[in-house]
Amino acid sequence: KPKTKTQQQDSAVCSEGDGTCSSTRHLEECGIWLAPSSLPGAGLGMYAGRDFAKKEPLQETGDIVIPIVDIMMHQRGRGRWVFVWDEYTWNGKSLGLGHEVIKEINAASPGFGSAANSFLDLVNVDEGDPINTMPSGLHRSRDPGVGAFSTYNDRRSTAKVKIKSGQELFVNYGQHWFEQRIRLGPIPLRRGLKQSTNLYRRFQMFRDKNPQVDSKVFGALWEEFVKHTVYNESRILGAFYNTPSELEMLDRNMTLKQIRVHEGTRTKQWLFDHGTCADHIRADVSTIRQAGRGAFATRDLPNGAIVSSLPLIQIINKNVLEMYELKDIKTRKLEQRRRVGYQLLLNYCYGHVNSTMLLCPYGPIVNMVNHNQTRANVKLRWSDPERGNHEPGMLQQPIDTFSEDRTTKLSMDLVAIRDIKKDEEILLDYGDDWEKAWQEHVKSWNITDADKYISAFMLNQEENTTSLRTEFEQLSDPYPGNVNLECDLNIWEGINKTLFNTTLVINITSTDDWEYYPCEVLRRRVVNGTTLYTISMTRPPKEKKKDIKVPADSVPKNLKLSDVPRMAMRFTDRPYTSDMFLKEAFRHHIGIPDSMFPLEWMNYSPI
């Protein structure tokens, strides 16, 4: 019997969660959505739920960035292994994490940028850099929480251009990313859509010059031309989807860019039916002191609502996150090495004690949900395949089925188990194994000589109250050995010196254009109550990697600058000294309940 319209609407609402949600108010207000991308084969994507002005933030708070350190070194000898995270990591240096290590740092950025797709001609979102902060003043001398969460956070996405409600959101992965991934097909690079449109216009001109020929013949000719040219290699031809509607729109003089934007714009109803809201939560300092930051409701959420969807990146064997003693890496075979810890990423992934499988979620703020067994207000559930990227059949497959897969196929939801009020912290029960491991960790927490430890973050916090010490002063009163002082060449180079000299005000338009190099303070003077520094900077060793914005050679070898303001200078932690490198730091995956975890994947028993 056909349903009435109201019944249909109600069932659409309730199928969102577990059938108990009673209103759609929370969805009406949604500003960003996660739903299947308009790009063929691109999996999930992000969409605007309302209009955004140019430069307007797309989220209330930015996303976490999780360092992955020296992974190739620690995994040396493992042979070939597929690490799906490679598709979701940024070069750590380009996000300001370079000082943490000597060798290799990758930045897992599992927030907005991992969920949004990229198409270079359609980029409408700018992503900022993360900032490095320690919430709640935690300190290694007393707080077992330090080192167990990433201090890099608040990576914000803003509208690069005006965005209309329903439009798909695209971030910039960079040309290099596409050039390296030929397997994705001939995806157009920057200005590619313009070149492709021009090609079609030339074809149109040819057609217009021959009015005596039936237009159907031209249609067939275009199809033959596109199909039989070396299609696989041509990014210009790869821009055409060759659907009847595309040709019709091209003939109406729309450009391919206009067509892609048009096709990538969804109605609110479509987003309701196929997507999940991706801004029900924001990040803030957790109500659980040792936990660092947490996720908080941005609006009232009814019982049964999907608080957040968690698309999952699989790591089929958690041993790829193992870290070993340096001397063992050099001298012993992989299986004989002593494990000293795990990558911090482990704490952000879901798993089971009896399995090697880890499932690590991505999407805005989804990694911020903390654990509490009595205050939990959400539960986990496998996602509805209609609404995202979840293939339930994969839950019946052995883990090895995923071994060569570079795409993600699984997704869970965090579903409200009672009404949640705006600003309430979202909490999940991570399971008894996690709770037990945490309690044991708290009991054994003891870091030798930790009282004296001062991090770069703590020194940077003193910014307005204490002057920086000169090299001479440091002879008797040195800074701690675990920090470096760096000066930002770009801020200094970029400011209006005449304005600065008269007003001592710097107008910084972007904090992304940093270019920090080690520097020393030679002198300081106070002008109108502001302390200014004479500094010397030495040219860093030559960088071979592409991602350094200014070639190191372009910085004069010995640079001396006077009247540099404190804001162009920062302390950074020396390599391998920050809290995440503590051997004692807590590492444990988040537990997936037994009732959900596939028996097929129970391939491991902890000793």
Ligand X SMILES: C[S@@+](CC[C@H](N)C(=O)[O-])C[C@H]1O[C@@H](n2cnc3c(N)ncnc32)[C@H](O)[C@@H]1O
DSSP letters spanning 221-242: HHHHHHHHS-GGG-TTGGG---
In angstroms, what is the minimal distance from the CB of 324 to ligand X?
Answer: 21
Collapsing DSSP to helix, strand or coil, 378 comes out as strand
Binding site residues, ligand X, CB under 6 A: 64, 145, 148-150, 286, 288, 290-294, 347-348, 367-368, 370-372, 438, 586
In angstroms, what is the minimal distance from the CB of 418 to ligand X?
Answer: 19
In angstroms, what is the minimal distance from the CB of 154 to ligand X?
Answer: 11
Residues 6 or more apart whose CB falls under 8 angstroms from that of 231 comprise 186, 237, 238
CA distance 135 to 139: 10
In angstroms, what is the minimal distance from the CB of 600 to ligand X?
Answer: 25
Query: Bridge-partner residues for 590, per DSSP?
Result: 350
CA distance 461 to 483: 14
In angstroms, what is the minimal distance from the CB of 258 to ligand X?
Answer: 41
DSSP letters spanning 560-571: EEEEEEGGGEEE
**Nearer to ligand X (CB atom), residue 124 or residue 372:** 372
The amino acid that residue 186 corresponds to is: P
CA distance 56 to 165: 13
Closest CA to 370 of 441, 488, 289: 289
**Nearer to ligand X (CB atom), residue 379 or residue 539:** 379
In angstroms, what is the minimal distance from the CB of 442 to ligand X?
Answer: 8
**Nearer to ligand X (CB atom), residue 129 or residue 488:** 129
**Nearer to ligand X (CB atom), residue 47 or residue 586:** 586
**Nearer to ligand X (CB atom), residue 155 or residue 160:** 155
Residue that has been written with the tokens 């050099």 in this structure = 330
The answer to whether the CB of 96 falls within 8 A of the CB of 153 is no
- Cα dihedral across residues 468, 474, 476, 477: positive or negative: positive
The answer to whether the CB of 589 falls within 8 A of the CB of 347 is yes
Tokens representing 25 are: 């108010």
In angstroms, what is the minimal distance from the CB of 584 to ligand X?
Answer: 13
**Nearer to ligand X (CB atom), residue 37 or residue 114:** 114
**Nearer to ligand X (CB atom), residue 33 or residue 586:** 586
How far is residue 518 from each of residues 492, 536, 558, 594, measured CA to CA in Å? Answer: 14, 9, 11, 51
Beta strand 427-428 pairing with 370-371: parallel
In angstroms, what is the minimal distance from the CB of 312 to ligand X?
Answer: 13
**Nearer to ligand X (CB atom), residue 26 or residue 293:** 293
The answer to whether the CB of 192 falls within 8 A of the CB of 134 is no
**Nearer to ligand X (CB atom), residue 413 or residue 515:** 413
In angstroms, what is the minimal distance from the CB of 360 to ligand X?
Answer: 9
**Nearer to ligand X (CB atom), residue 145 or residue 264:** 145
Q: How many CB atoms lie within 10 A of CB 32?
A: 25
In angstroms, what is the minimal distance from the CB of 591 to ligand X?
Answer: 11
CA distance 206 to 199: 11
Phi, psi of 290 (to 5 degrees): -75, -10
Residues 6 or more apart whose CB falls under 8 angstroms from that of 378 comprise 307, 369, 414, 415, 416, 417, 420, 426, 427, 428
CA distance 7 to 69: 53
Residue closest to ligand X, measured at CB: 292
In angstroms, what is the minimal distance from the CB of 595 to ligand X?
Answer: 21
Phi, psi of 291 (to 5 degrees): -85, -10
In angstroms, what is the minimal distance from the CB of 361 to ligand X?
Answer: 9
CA distance 518 to 471: 13
The answer to whether the CB of 306 falls within 8 A of the CB of 277 is yes
**Nearer to ligand X (CB atom), residue 212 or residue 444:** 444
**Nearer to ligand X (CB atom), residue 96 or residue 591:** 591
